[in-house]
Structure 1
Amino acid sequence: MKTIAVIASCDTKYKEVAYIRECLKKAEVKALVVDMAIGFGRSYEADISREEVVQSVGFKWDEVKDRTKGELMILITDAVKATVLGLYKEQKIDGVLSVGGVQNTTVATSAMKLLPIGFPKVMATTIACGQKPFGPVVGDKDIVVIPSISDFTGLNSITRTVIANACACACGLVQYAGRPLQKGDKPVVGITLMGVTNTGVCAAVEELERIGIEAIGFHSTGVGGAIMEQLAQGGILDGILDLTTHEITSEYFGGGFSYGTAQRLIKPIEQGVPMVVSTGGLDFIDFAKSEFPPRMEERVYNMHNATLAHIKILPDEAAEIGKLFAQRLNRASEGVKLIIPTNGMRKNTKPGENLYYKEVDDVLIKTITENVNENVHVEIIEGNLNEEDWGVRAAHAMVDELKRRGRLDQSYVY
């Protein structure tokens, strides 16, 4: 029988926990309830009590129960993380499920984020609503988030429905899927793209796959680049073809649709992951009309949709971003290849098109090439990054880099 760890505050949510047990039992799945309660009231329904949970990080409940709520939240979060990770490593659970508000969501998803992609994780939460950000809930993992619609104040027609659906979701995952992500037999390359670099990048993907290399795309709009880098550091990816480094520009501006990833490039470069990097999307930012940056009267832009604009950066900004980009590439002790297009870094940037601004492109390229060190191997590739021919040549550069770094044998030819 499959087992799902149920993370819950068993002092205030014991009715919901009892109903979760009932739903899982009907699906012939065992519930293993992990208590995360920090209140003074009695807990019910737990299989792993809060006393056992806090003991996992070296504390006794009676010794810590009088701490402030903030202190207890930090402690219980660490303790639940340790408990759930231990259950996973000991192969005692097949999935994780939780329902609750801010406190429960914070603790439960902190534990879920430690588990691998592919391992079932379901969170029914009150905070999946309105303008609340999605990132803090899921991080860089595949947590299924279900809006609770109403608050969890016991059992009623809405909470029963939402909880039953969350249980069904978790049961379906553990019974019919639920395999943690594993690397296949083929070499695997991560590759970044956006809609405005899609043509060139997809050509690179097709060429890599023709050669016999699996290519996995990551959307460079605030989290994709970070997830790709994490997978590379964990050994799932053999190399990175980072054609769309737009998130670095968003990081420099501190906002926009693609803002969210910090310190792009640094970790995989320092770790020595084989990398081919380019400047896709480095030349623009994406802001809603209500959040336009200063100096709009100097800028050229187009509306990507009814609310979001793609805005070309200015020459002085290009110089600063180019320096930042070069500084990060310079951390590559084992070398990194930089490929630069000559006729635009994304769609709509060729002569005569509405985001063409040659001075910006020239400043970016000049600043980058003048500031990189000898560990950055620069190659100029004629054309626009968003062209099929350019993407094919980028794929070949990745193959060459993998061979140079000993990650690909000579049987892979193009």
Structure 2
Amino acid sequence: MKKGTVRTIVLLATLDTKGLATGYIRDQIRARGHKTIVIDAGILDKPEVQADISREEVARAGGTSLDELLLRAQKTSDRMQIIQVMIEGAARTVKKLYDQGKVDGLLSVGGSMGTAIGVGAMKNLPLGIPKLMVATHFYPQALVSESDLTVMQCPADIMGLNPVINFTFAQAASAICAMAEVKREGKKIRPLVAMTGLGVTTPAVMKLQKLFETMGYDNVVFHGNSEVMDELVEEGVIDGIMDFSPQELLRIFVMKEWPWRKSRLESAGRKGLPQVIVPGSLDMIVLRVAKDNLPTPYKNRKIYMHGPFITAIRTNVEELNQVAEIMADKMNRSTGPGAVVFPLRGFSAIDKEGFAFYDPQTNGSFLKGLKEKLKKGVEIIEVDAHILDDAFVKEVARIYDSMAKRAMIRPG
């Protein structure tokens, strides 16, 4: 540890089952010169180590008493109903500590239930605060989402201490200390533009990055998922949106796989930020399955293999009309300037003449739907070019720059 960099690391665990592990990590962190705050989210047996914030306090923060939870545990086998109280209580407890300036990093240890509690608290902290989940398994995206947390998988179950797992705990302690010691960069100087990209639009996004750099904008690109982008918009970090590849609209509103993301396309509108949308990659639905395992509804559609276990399906008129309706509704409700820039010769690297997904009629139906549904205040600009063409990329950059300047967000 460098001199003058004492940090406070919060440790969150169910101390009735993961207490020894937590105590070991706590001692490792303290040996490195940092402070710790231990939170107990256990509910059944006695804690194996002393907590700084008790399970009784966590339960109250979750909206009930520990005694009430213990009574519920005797009456039901539904553990999740009980754990949900501790998830909410732990999240509120950690957020309160953060608001008090007492969180420089958060480390949690757990199995399935402990991970749900730990991740729940981590997702309640701002981006940039170090978050390390030491878990017995990896968990689905629905639990972890797009948070900037790190998952460290244990080589054995977290039951007591032994030479195998102690080494993992020591590494975890070292990792969270190192992350917390990193000095954050100073405040941004230039406006920051958030962009979305996907592999089939990456060449154009890379060109845009260079153009924005020369125009005086910094940029950050989000690949296939914009959840973190929306968080940064809400936190006031982002100054404008270049939504070049909003492919997840299909996954959210057509396939209905991500219902928790129904607010997609709304954050910039609420903040009044300039927002340019390009239909990049909307020519495809991406399925993470091999060709032979395609669901029946997609078997007779145009397909493209992006890898052994990633299959793209060409979107049809009905699906793109759904997207047009959603996109228009959200753009119409935006409080900031917005525009849709439409490449007439294709939406991706495989949607151009002679390639697998080239279908100007379907794309044209999408354009017609947008024109019918967008209000007059939202511009729709047609460009006679392919999405990857230099001419299209330059036009998109010009439109964004003009819009940003009108919105009084000027590059430095």
Provide the C-alpha distance between the structure 2 equivalents of 1:404 and 1:291, rounded to a whole number of angstroms. Answer: 50
State the AA in 1 paired with 2:285: I
* Structure-2 residue corresponding to 1:248: 249
Matched, 1:292 2:299: no
Provide the C-alpha distance between the structure 2 equivalents of 1:365 and 1:330, rounded to a whole number of angstroms. Answer: 16
Provide the C-alpha distance between the structure 1 equivalents of 2:218 and 2:396, rounded to a whole number of angstroms. Answer: 15
State the AA in 2 paired with 1:348: I
* Structure-2 residue corresponding to 1:280: 280
* Structure-2 residue corresponding to 1:217: 221
Provide the C-alpha distance between the structure 2 equivalents of 1:298 and 1:60, rounded to a whole number of angstroms. Answer: 56
Provide the C-alpha distance between the structure 2 equivalents of 1:115 and 1:297, rounded to a whole number of angstroms. Answer: 43
SS at match of 2:278: strand
SS at match of 2:15: coil
2:303 to 295, 301, 322: 301
* Structure-2 residue corresponding to 1:32: 37
* Structure-2 residue corresponding to 1:142: 148
Post-superposition shift, 1:134?
Answer: 3.4
Q: Which shows bigger deviation, 284-293 or 207-216? A: 284-293
Provide the C-alpha distance between the structure 1 equivalents of 2:357 and 2:403, rounded to a whole number of angstroms. Answer: 32
1:390 to 379, 389, 392: 392
Matched, 1:81 2:91: yes
Q: Which shows bigger deviation, 243-252 or 267-276? A: 267-276
Post-superposition shift, 1:157?
Answer: 2.9
* Structure-2 residue corresponding to 1:352: 354
* Structure-1 residue corresponding to 2:171: 165
Q: Which shows bigger deviation, 166-175 or 327-336? A: 327-336
* Structure-1 residue corresponding to 2:339: 337
Provide the C-alpha distance between the structure 1 equivalents of 2:242 and 2:274, rounded to a whole number of angstroms. Answer: 9
Q: Kindly tell me: are residues 259 and 394 of structure 1, through their superposed partners in 2, closer, same or farther at Cα, counting changes over 3 Å?
A: farther
Post-superposition shift, 1:306?
Answer: 1.9
Question: How many residue pairs get matched?
Answer: 400
On the 8 A contact 1:196/1:386 being kept in 2, the answer is: no
Post-superposition shift, 1:71?
Answer: 4.3
Matched, 1:44 2:42: no
Provide the C-alpha distance between the structure 2 equivalents of 1:168 and 1:149, rounded to a whole number of angstroms. Answer: 17
SS at match of 1:7: strand
Q: Which shows bigger deviation, 205-214 or 268-277? A: 268-277
On the 8 A contact 1:247/1:261 being kept in 2, the answer is: no
Q: Kindly tell me: are residues 105 and 297 of structure 1, through their superposed partners in 2, closer, same or farther at Cα, counting changes over 3 Å?
A: closer
Q: Kindly tell me: are residues 187 and 336 of structure 1, through their superposed partners in 2, closer, same or farther at Cα, counting changes over 3 Å?
A: same
Deviation string, structure 1 residues 169-219 (Cα, Å, up to 9, x no partner):
1011112x163x875011111011111111111111111111111011111
2:200 to 187, 196, 209: 196
Calculate the aligned-residue CA RMSD, in Å: 2.4
On the 8 A contact 1:190/1:237 being kept in 2, the answer is: yes
Q: Unaligned regions of 5+ residues in structure 1, if any?
A: none
Identity of aligned residues (%): 28
Provide the C-alpha distance between the structure 1 equivalents of 2:180 and 2:148, rounded to a whole number of angstroms. Answer: 14
TM-score (norm 1): 0.89
Q: Kindly tell me: are residues 161 and 174 of structure 1, through their superposed partners in 2, closer, same or farther at Cα, counting changes over 3 Å?
A: same
Q: Kindly tell me: are residues 81 and 319 of structure 1, through their superposed partners in 2, closer, same or farther at Cα, counting changes over 3 Å?
A: closer
Q: Which shows bigger deviation, 234-243 or 64-73? A: 64-73
* Structure-1 residue corresponding to 2:76: none
Provide the C-alpha distance between the structure 2 equivalents of 1:198 and 1:398, rounded to a whole number of angstroms. Answer: 18
Provide the C-alpha distance between the structure 2 equivalents of 1:270 and 1:374, rounded to a whole number of angstroms. Answer: 19
* Structure-2 residue corresponding to 1:267: 267
On the 8 A contact 2:273/2:337 being kept in 1, the answer is: no
1:65-80 mapped onto 2 (5 Å cutoff): 65-68=70-73, 69-80=79-90
State the AA in 2 paired with 1:103: M
State the AA in 2 paired with 1:134: Q
Q: Which shows bigger deviation, 95-104 or 20-29? A: 20-29
* Structure-2 residue corresponding to 1:374: 376
* Structure-2 residue corresponding to 1:15: 20
Post-superposition shift, 1:323?
Answer: 2.6
* Structure-2 residue corresponding to 1:123: 133
SS at match of 1:279: coil
Provide the C-alpha distance between the structure 2 equivalents of 1:321 and 1:82, rounded to a whole number of angstroms. Answer: 36
TM-score (norm 2): 0.89
On the 8 A contact 2:337/2:378 being kept in 1, the answer is: yes
State the AA in 1 paired with 2:278: S
Post-superposition shift, 1:43?
Answer: 5.0
Q: Kindly tell me: are residues 372 and 305 of structure 1, through their superposed partners in 2, closer, same or farther at Cα, counting changes over 3 Å?
A: same
State the AA in 2 paired with 1:230: E
Deviation string, structure 1 residues 229-253 (Cα, Å, up to 9, x no partner):
2211221001101011111122234
State the AA in 2 paired with 1:124: V
SS at match of 2:190: coil
On the 8 A contact 1:121/1:170 being kept in 2, the answer is: yes
Q: Kindly tell me: are residues 113 and 296 of structure 1, through their superposed partners in 2, closer, same or farther at Cα, counting changes over 3 Å?
A: closer
State the AA in 1 paired with 2:329: Q
Deviation string, structure 1 residues 326-345 (Cα, Å, up to 9, x no partner):
22322224442111111101
State the AA in 2 paired with 1:396: R
Post-superposition shift, 1:291?
Answer: 4.4
On the 8 A contact 1:197/1:244 being kept in 2, the answer is: yes
Q: Kindly tell me: are residues 227 and 163 of structure 1, through their superposed partners in 2, closer, same or farther at Cα, counting changes over 3 Å?
A: same
Post-superposition shift, 1:64?
Answer: 4.8
Deviation string, structure 1 residues 108-127 (Cα, Å, up to 9, x no partner):
11111121211111111112
Matched, 1:228 2:229: yes
On the 8 A contact 1:240/1:275 being kept in 2, the answer is: yes
Q: Unaligned regions of 5+ residues in structure 2, if any?
A: 1-5, 74-78
Deviation string, structure 1 residues 41-69 (Cα, Å, up to 9, x no partner):
35532122222333446655445542334
Q: Kindly tell me: are residues 141 and 343 of structure 1, through their superposed partners in 2, closer, same or farther at Cα, counting changes over 3 Å?
A: same
Provide the C-alpha distance between the structure 1 equivalents of 2:299 and 2:40, rounded to a whole number of angstroms. Answer: 57
Matched, 1:155 2:156: no
Post-superposition shift, 1:322?
Answer: 2.5
Q: Kindly tell me: are residues 310 and 62 of structure 1, through their superposed partners in 2, closer, same or farther at Cα, counting changes over 3 Å?
A: closer
State the AA in 2 paired with 1:144: T
Provide the C-alpha distance between the structure 1 equivalents of 2:410 and 2:216, rounded to a whole number of angstroms. Answer: 11
